[in-house]
Amino acid sequence: MVKITFIELLVNVSWISITLFIIGIGLLVVEMFEPGFGFFGIFGIISLIGCIFVTASTVAEGIMLTAFFFVIVLIMLGIFLFMVSKGKLPGKLVLKDAESRDDGYSGTLDLNEYMGKAGVVLSTCRPVGNVDFDGVKLEVVSLGEFIEKGTAVEVIEVEGNRVVVKPKE
């Protein structure tokens, strides 16, 4: 059994292996800072695998190189995670502009204006149905009861985009 040390393996490395290694690691670094998994990650991994096949002449050397690459990738991942924890990410990965109601953005409609308003049921509430509030059609929920089409209702609760109605007395 021939024992090969890592240093002996590195002495016998060709320029093709070095090129494939640098390209592979470079592509993986780019992949860490680009959103998603795509071209850079796939070709970085292919380049590192190619480096292993070009460099290693035995299975033992291949395993040794694979372990070496794995350690390097883990170190790079550790550096990336450290940067994430300190908030030092590239601009592409961080949303800097926030949208607010003052800017005219609203994730959901503000339905609080319908509190106490009266409307007419357009489709039977079982317990969900549609109600017309002065020309505005909204999906509403009753308190568990059926409310027939054409019944006058009033809004008794608004929670986010959930509007609760009951028959008007």
- How do 136-142 and 162-167 pair as beta strands? parallel
Give the pLDDT of residue 106.
Answer: 55
Question: Residue 106 corresponds to which tokens in the numbers above?
Answer: 């609203």
Give the pLDDT of residue 43.
Answer: 92
The tens digit of pLDDT for each residue in 116-152 reads 999 999 999 888 999 999 898 999 999 888 999 999 9
Contacts of 149 (CB under 8 A, 6+ apart): 121, 122, 123, 124
Report the distance separating Cα 128 and Cα 2, nearest Å: 77
Give the pLDDT of residue 77.
Answer: 83
pTM of the complete model: 0.47
Give the pLDDT of residue 65.
Answer: 81
pLDDT values of the chain reduced to their tens digit, one per residue, 169 residues: 455 665 665 666 778 888 888 898 888 888 877 767 688 888 988 998 888 888 877 888 788 888 888 888 888 888 878 877 777 766 555 556 666 556 655 556 678 889 999 999 999 988 899 999 989 899 999 988 899 999 999 999 998 888 999 998 8
Strand partners, 132: 120, 137
Q: What is the DSSP letter of 139?
A: E
